[in-house]
Every structure is written in C-alpha cells, then in structure tokens.
Structure 1
Amino acid sequence: MVDVLRGASTEGYRAVTGWALGAPEWVRGAAEAGTDLLLAGFAAVMLAVWWRSRRWGARAVGAALLGPVAAVAAYLVSETAKSVVEQDRPCRAVWDAAASIAACPEVGDWSFPSNHAAVAGAAAAAAVVAWRWAGAVVVPLAVLEAFSRVFVGVHYPHDVLVGLAVGAVVAVPVVVWGSGPAGVLVERLRGVGGLRWLLAADAPRERGRAVVGGGSR
C-alpha cells in the first residue's frame, strides 16, 4: 500500500521540489527555518484556546489542556508507524528530483508518515474541538506545515497527508472522550492555591456553558 502511495506521489514531490529550487533565495531560507518554527504557532494557538477556556466550564478547560496531550500521542503513533514501515526519505530515494532545501535526515530517520504533519494535524483537530473558531487560524497553519515538509524536500506528499490524518484521528477522541475526566480533575484543582487563576478566571460565567467545541462562548 505504501509503495503504491509513494509511486503516485513521487511526481508531486518532483514538481514541488523543482518549484522550490526556482523560488527566490529568501523564500527557500524562510521555508527551511519555518518548517520547524511553525510548530511554535501551534503552541501559541493552544495557549490562546486555554486562555479563552478559563472563562467557561471545567470541561472546556480540560479540553483545552488536552491539546498538548493529543499532539504528543499523535507523535508517538506516527513514530511507531515509521519504525514499522521504514520508508526511506525522498531526498535519497528520488535521485532525479531537485536537491532538497533542508539537509536530508540520516539513514534510519524514516519518512512515512511525517511526524511534523501528525503533530500539526493533532494540534489543529484538538484546537477545533475545544473551540471551533480556532480553525480559521490553525487549519491553514497545519496545511502550511505539511506543505513545507515537501517544499524543503524531506517528505513525499503522501507522507504529510497521512500524517495530518493520523494526527486528527488520534486527537479527536483524546479531546472528546478525555474532556469529561479532565474537567473533573480541573474542578478539583481549582481549590488548590494559585491554580484557580490558571484554571478559571471568571467562574460565575461558567454555569451551564461548558460545551466542547462551542463557537459563541
């Protein structure tokens, strides 16, 4: 199955890396730096979702705090899949493609699926479940992160598409099913010293409004 996907996306890889080679130098430099720095954008979105959730119920706060958990879980699933599939990086395997912008990872640092894309997909899905309007920022950010991995030459298109899917599939149940238990824990921790400020800025407004994924809260 992976061989079929790789064959179908090799031409896409050649096209994207060829385009990258012809891009202005500043674009290539920005892509090389940004492919890792974009992950900081997801951290910023998670912080924003958490900050906003403090105005609402314990379950909403729990859902927001599960975003990083979902991202870590997606990374672990993706990394496990890599060790099973053992697909070589296209920057080595596609000999007639344009040279990659980023340094090609060492042999044994496998390509399928993309860990960066899996984390991006998980962060995006978790943020949308916790606050659906976050999708306006985080979904384009996830797509950009995934594309950047192909643009700099270290992944096939199918690596990042599957990575995004893996991240979303892992994150949604983590946040949806975990928000209830996490909310119970948040409610208990609100009585512990300074944790109340971290977990609820405006407690009176939370009554009857703790719904994961709300857009008007």
Structure 2
Amino acid sequence: MRRILSAWDKELFLNVATRSWPAAEPVLPRLSRAANHGLLWFGVAAGIAAVGGRTGRRAALRGAGSLAVASAVVNTIGKGAVRRNRPVLDSVPVIRRLSRQPGTTSFPSGHAASAAAFAAGVALESPRWGAAVLPVAWSVAFSRIYTGVHYPSDVAAGMALGAGAALAVRGLVPTGRQLAVPPTPRADAPALPDGRGLFAVVNEVSGPPPLLGPPAERLRGALPEAVVEECSEDDDLAEMLEKAAQQAAEAGGALGIHGGDGSVSLAASIALRHGVPLLVSPGGTYNHFALDLSIESIDDAARAVREGTAIAVDVARVTPTGAAAGKEAGAAESTVFLNTFSIGVYPDLVRYRERWSRRVGSWPAGVLAALHVLRTSAPIDLEINGRRHSVWMLFAGNGAYRSIGPAPLRRRALSDGQLDVRIVPGSPYARTRLLAAALTGSTTALLRRMRIGGVEPGTRLAFDGEVAPAPRELVIDKANEALTVYRPL
C-alpha cells in the first residue's frame, strides 16, 4: 500500500510538472515566495484588521494565532518526524522554479500548513472573510507543487495539520459565534415591512470610511419605505434624533440609528423618552452594543425590523446627585449608557485616541494614546460608596461580562439588573500594576447601584466611548428591561 501511494504521489507530481499552465506562470511562483515566513498572511491579517471592524480584527488575530501554532508544530515535530527528500526538479520547467530552493525536508509542507491554518482560523471567526481568503490559501498550497518543492501528499498533510491547528485554537479560545447570545426577554415591537414607520438617522461622522457605499443608500435599499436622514458634521445629531423619534411615536413605528456606540446611547435615551423601540445599525469603529444584539450589518438590522423581533434590555444611568435630588429616576439630567462607564485614565486615553485617529488610524492612535497616558497620567482619589480610594481606573459595565482568558469579551446577559464594577487601584508600582490589571481585569463586584463622590474639578469620565466632564458627585444605577430594541432571530 505504501508503494502504491508513493507511486500515485509521484505520478500526480509529474502530471502537474509536465502540464502547461500559462495563466499560473506569472503568479504562482511570486505568490509562493510572498508566503515565506508567513509574511503574506501577516499582511493580509493587517488589511482585514484595518477594514473589517471588530469582527475583522478578531478574525485576523485568530488567523495569525492559528498560523503560529501550525508553524510551530511543523518546524518542531513535523519536519523531524518524516525525513523525506524534496522532489527531483528535472521535470519542472526552469521558469517555475524558485530562485532559492528550501533546505528543509519535504514532509509536511509548512507553506500549506500556514495557508490552511490562517484561512481556517479566519473562517471560523468570520465566514465572509474566510471565503475571501480561501482562494489565496489554496493557490499558495498548490504553488508548492507547481514550483516543484513539494509532493502532493506533503501539501495535503500540511493543509490537514493547518486546519487542525485552527480547530485546536478554537478549542482553547472560542470564537464569537460559539459564545451564546446573551439571554434576554422578548419584547413587543411592530413589524415594519420594507421599513414603513421607521425613522432613522445615519451619523456620517461615526466610524471609519464605508467600503460598501454610503450607509444611507444601503439602508434605503434594504428598507425602501423607511425615512432615512443623514447627519453631517454641521448637523445636530440630538436634534435630528428628537425629530425622528417624535415622528416614530406619532406613526406608531420605531427610531433607527446607524452609528457608533456613542450615537446609539444618545438614540437610546431619546427612544426611552418618547416610548418607541430602537433599531441599531452598526456604523462605528467597535459597535459593541450592536454586536451583542447579533447585528453585524445593515442587512441584519433590516431583517429584524421587517420581522418585528425585539428584546427588552437594561439601561444604565449616570446621574449627578445634586441635579437628581428629589427627582424621579430617569429624569432628563441622567445620562444613559448601554455598554460601559469609566473614570480615571481611560477617558484620557479615549480623548487622545480620538484626537489622533483621523491622522494615523484607530489602531496606531490607540497605541500612541496608551503610551502617552501611561507616561503622563496619575491615579485619582474617589469616594466609592462612602469609602475613599486611590484608583487608576473605575470601570462599570451595563451587565456582567463573560471573560475568556484575560479580557472581558461579552456580556452574560443584556437584562441582568447588574453593574459589573472593576477597579484598578493606585499603588507604589502604579504603572506596572495598571499594565497587569489590563491583562487580568478581575471583577471587583456586581452591584445594582453605586455612588461616587469627591471627584476633583477637571476630572473626566467616559461612557460608550464619549468623554465628558465629571460632576463632583454622581450615582450609577440601572433601569431594568427599560429599552426595547430590535434583534434578528
């Protein structure tokens, strides 16, 4: 059997070597060289991360991690387990041969393993990006036979090993699709066929430049009877949302917002005040709330509003205690947030990141902002529920977050009535502790209400990515299941 397989392997190699492939000659050798040391895939990962939003960044990271595992297995175990000689190049045309021939053993193909690992890792996180990467991965794997450096069985074994590495990484770090959608009670909301009764505002300032065409046009295409307004830098987003919410209330319809988390929080507060359901369409850089609703695109949002599938979610509120004294919960002085609140160094990080992101991009701006904050900032003193603390940062999440590995990734539920409070205390080794806390991020407490006082003038706070001056004293609490939002089934 072994001889039969070996003969079949060599025969298939000769068939590829002796057949004319005119379209492949200018492409495959270059592609094979580009994949040396994974450089091609790291470049592809950078591109996906730059344009793919949070899902793209997770897909790129998973692909790169899967590649690293596959490469380590091939180079430490695979190459030494089967010491097979490379194919003889006599039958391979000179124009196809690589200028520098590999010096390692032939089995398995490291290039094929890396290609399959990267493509499978990306596809497990994002099938759309996986479909885009797969043809390139297949071409790289085939190029190793085409250029004469591997037998077909070397390539097949490498691809199987790479796919296995991607599955192993998924077993250790589940994908976003493996995480269960946060359980949330169903709510009544009108089904709006073709968007009739939906009054939506598109915040053109939010997020990176769109790659698939203007979002307002795509929203109108998906929901042709919806009223869609575009908010530019010269417009007042709050005023436009107020007008749209009033129209939605009169028509018995819904308010829609296409924008980032800050825009969504503003729209949520206005939807609450007018008593209308909210449709969220992801148009920002991170889109945390939209993704927790399993809405990754305009098409997801349109499907939910057409079918009328909705849930009731918690809303968290920040209320200055002086303004809120003697008033009912949910008064106009309260600021709504749907994801996170923080006070300490994080608001400064957001402020610097936003200032630099338009010039250098979101990722580089985030790195530069973090370095600047670590170098120039210091802990602040706060009174938290009556006790004095020195803290680098206080974080409060709207709902308890699930963590995989070091970081909080997704909420356990969108209507649990809890605040996920995490505190990074100041210390003699403050910056070292801040970096360690960023990696460990342990939960301090799950609360329903928290009072913060003793805030020094000039201190800033952040909620859902927006930065504002902090009041001297404030209360953070929850309005349970207060907001109705559309979510696709």
**TM-score scaled to structure 2, two decimals?**
0.34
Structure having greater relative contact order (Cα 8 Å, sep ≥ 6): 1
Q: 1:205 to 1:153 in 2, by over 3 A?
A: same
Unaligned runs of 5+ in 1: 182-199
How far is the alpha carbon of 1:210 from its aligned partner?
A: 9.2
1:82 aligns with 2:86: no
Per the alignment, residue 68 of structure 1 pairs with 64
- Picking from 168, 171, 189, the partner of 2:163 is 168
Q: Which amino acid aligns with 2:70?
A: A
SS in 2 for 1:110: coil
CA distance in 2, matches of 1:119, 1:53: 21
- Name the one with the larger helix percent: 1
Q: 1:81 to 1:5 in 2, by over 3 A?
A: farther
Question: 2:28 touches 2:140 (CA, 8 Å); kept in 1?
Answer: no
Q: Is contact 1:89-1:104 (8 Å) kept?
A: no
1:6 lines up with 2:6 in the alignment: yes
CA–CA distance in 2 between the matches of 1:146 and 1:61? 24
2:88: which partner in 1? 91
Percent of counterpart pairs with the same letter? Answer: 27
Once the 2 structures are TM-superposed, how far is the Cα of residue 2 of structure 1 from its aligned partner?
7.0
Contact kept in structure 1, 2:32 and 2:143, CA below 8 Å: yes
3-state SS, counterpart of residue 102 of structure 1: coil
Q: Which amino acid aligns with 2:9?
A: S
SS at match of 2:107: coil
CA distance in 1, matches of 2:102, 2:65: 28
Contact map agreement 1:13 1:156 (CA 8 A) in 2: yes
**Equivalent runs, 1:1-217 vs 2, <5 Å:** 5-19=5-19, 22-23=20-21, 27-38=24-35, 40-51=39-50, 54-55=53-54, 62=58, 64-79=60-75, 80-91=77-88, 97-98=91-92, 101-103=97-99, 105=101, 109-179=104-174, 201-209=286-294
Which amino acid counterpart does residue 125 of structure 1 have in structure 2? Answer: A
For the aligned residues, what is the CA RMSD? 3.4
Encode CA deviations 1:27-67: one digit per residue, 9 max, x unaligned.
535332221225555334433543466446xxx85554222
Segment of structure 1 superposing worse, 114-123 or 41-50: 41-50
Report the count of equivalent residues.
186
Unaligned runs of 5+ in 2: 177-284, 302-489
User: Which one has the largest radius of gyration?
Assistant: 2
Alignment-mate amino acid for residue 158 of structure 1: S
- In structure 2, the CA distance between the partners of 1:2 and 1:83, relative to structure 1 (3 Å rule), is farther
Query: How has the CA–CA distance of structure 1 residues 131 and 2 changed in structure 2, closer, same or farther, with 3 Å as cutoff?
Result: farther
Cα deviation for residue 105 of structure 1 reads 3.3
**In the TM superposition, what whole-angstrom CA distance separates every residue of 1:183-217 from its partner, at most 9, and x where no partner exists?**
xxxxxxxxxxxxxxxxx633332324399xxx969
Letter aligned with residue 128 of structure 1: A
CA contact (8 A) 1:62 1:179 kept: no
Alpha-carbon distance between aligned partners in 2 of 1:125 and 1:216, rounded to the nearest angstrom: 24
Alignment CA distance shift 1:6-1:17 (3 Å):
same
